[in-house]
Amino acid sequence: MPIDILTFITLIFNTFLNHSTIFMQKIKWPIAIVTSYLIIYQSAVLLGFYDNTIAVMYLASPFLLLWMVYKILKDGTPSERTFDEYFYDDYDYKRNHSEETTS
């Protein structure tokens, strides 16, 4: 059964916004706002937006992206794991240090 685009976007954002343990509370709104803005920008031609509106959205997108990066770097918390101990930050895969060679 095909799913329409609004139901799909609603499902994605509900899943995204409900996982407060994964995404920190302070940075989830900038990520949601910029992601939805970029989705709307990408579909602006198909939705029939005027060319001037698309151009203004194009010019505004780098500033929104920089704002999102700034908020993540400012309000996010650094990981307690180091690359020397864990290969991935979001998965409990400990490094086995087999890549280190002795000379």
Residue 10: name the closest of 49, 36, 41 by CA.
36
Q: pTM higher than 0.85 for the full model?
A: no
Coil, helix or strand at residue 86: strand
pLDDT number for residue 57: 94
Q: Which residue has the higher pLDDT, 24 or 71?
A: 71
Mean of per-residue pLDDT scores for the chain: 77
Domain residue ranges in the chain: 1-103
Number of Cβ within 10 Å of residue 100's Cβ equals 7
Number of Cβ within 10 Å of residue 80's Cβ equals 8
Report the alpha-carbon distance of residue 58 to residue 68 in Å, rounded.
16
Q: Which residue has the higher pLDDT, 27 or 39?
A: 39
Could you tell me if residue 48 is left (phi over 0), alpha (psi between -120 and 50 degrees) or otherwise beta?
left
pLDDT number for residue 53: 93
For residue 88, what are the CA distances in angstroms to 65, 73, 92? 25, 19, 7
* pLDDT of residue 99 exceeding 90: no
